[in-house]
Amino acid sequence: MKRENEKDRRAFIKTLAGLTAGIMLPMQVSGLQASVGERKERTARVTDRWGDLLPQRKFGNTGEAVTMLGLGGAHIARMPESEAERTIERAIAGGIRFFDNAESYGNGRGEERYGKYLSPKYRDVAFIQSKSTARDGKTAQAHLEGSLRRLKTDYLDLWLIHAVTSPSDVDGRISNGVLDVVQKAKESGKVRYIGFSGHSDFNAHLRMLERTDLLQACQMPINAFDPNYKSFITNVMPRLVEKKMAPLAMKTLANGGFFGGTSHFNHGDKPKIIPNALSVEEAVHFSWSLPISVLITGADNADMLTEKINFAKTFTAFDAARRDQLVEKVAGFDGRMVEYYKV
């Protein structure tokens, strides 16, 4: 049975990853050569007044394009303020135009720092998402108003129902009016696109996808270990592709779990996938080799962000054999330790 499951998993990942080329925007440059089976992604060179953007990918079926790498707001909230400013500036200079945040990050501190260092200068080029953990409509509305105020913007590019934990959690939020508020925010123009996020249980994501067709994006764990343990890739990604929704990758290094950590943001002394089985570059290139719209990175500082920017610039999609090899290399690790945030 185990061997049959492994065979099914390999076939699925091969089929799913074959869609990655279709989500990349074609390069408008002639004369490029690519090898059969494993080619460097051809991507459009796009420039704004701040410089060249990183390669872009399709944002679901919206007609929108987003940079393949995004800056995570949770780490921005945790940094010293001077480093947060430096990291935001490094993101813009490095070609990132997707910026993630949430009202819950640092009790609003992450959004305040975007409002101070991102929006005043870069709002017209930045795709900004925020998120709400609200369990009822009244709270969701208050969260939206607070996010707009802290971010110093009249609208969000993307607003997510944040951190759904179970099917019953999804049902409760919908029953209590959260989805209604999210939909009305989009209709009013305060939000351009809407979606949801979570990292606890893929069944919560499946329930949300069953309950509504109103959403355009879904944020979830996407990493090389995930297919081995309570997998979002194998259980949720096919539905997102079917619905033409934008998959947003988070926890591509298991939020410290690949480094032996057992709680958010931390490294630790548990068995380490990095560097014992994978390199950081292999791990993030695995995620980009799947049909995700953007990989949201939680950088501890500006220099760490530069590393991810360079990985985006050198990205070449892994072929099926390489992807499967990486999944197999980490299969022996304990999922409860690596992806400790799953229930």
Tell which wins on pLDDT, 108 or 24. Answer: 108
User: Is 131 in contact with 102 (CB distance < 8 Å)?
Assistant: yes
Crossing angle of helices 202-211 and 167-175, rounded to 10°: 40
33, pLDDT greater than 50:
no
Rounded mean pLDDT of the chain? Answer: 91
pLDDT band for position 15 (50/70/90)? low
Q: What pTM was estimated for this model as a whole?
A: 0.91
- 8 Å CB contact between 216 and 180: no
Residue 284: pLDDT over 80: yes
Instruction: Report the percentage of the chain scoring pLDDT > 90.
Output: 84
CB 73, CB 112: distance < 8 Å: no
Per domain, the residue ranges of the chain are: 47-339
Q: What is the CATH number of domain 47-339?
A: 3.20.20.100
Residue 182 to residue 191: CA distance in whole angstroms? 8
Token pair 């913007």 in the structure block, residue: 153
Mean pLDDT of 266-291: 94
Residue 21 binned pLDDT confidence (cut-offs 50, 70, 90): low
Cα–Cα distance measured from residue 101 to residue 71, given in angstroms and rounded to the nearest whole number: 9
Average pLDDT for 300-306: 97
Q: Between residues 30 and 59, which one has the greater pLDDT? A: 59
Q: What's the pLDDT tens digit per position in 165-197?
A: 999 999 999 999 999 999 999 999 999 999 999
Render pLDDT for 204-240 as a digit per residue (tens, 0 to 9).
999 999 999 999 999 999 999 999 999 999 999 999 9
Q: Residue 38: what pLDDT?
A: 38
- Is residue 25 over pLDDT 90? no
- Per-residue pLDDT of 254-272, as tens digits, reads 999 999 987 776 778 889 9
Instruction: Give residue-wise pLDDT tens across range 44-99.
Output: 579 999 999 999 999 999 999 999 999 999 999 999 999 999 999 999 999 999 99
Question: Strand locations in 8-117, DSSP E?
Answer: 47-48, 51-52, 56-58, 65-67, 69-71, 98-100
Strands 51-52 and 47-48: antiparallel
Size of the chain in residues: 343
Distance CA 140, CA 133 (A): 8
3-state DSSP assignment of residue 315: coil
pLDDT of residue 234: 97
Residue 134: pLDDT band by 50, 70, 90 thresholds? very high
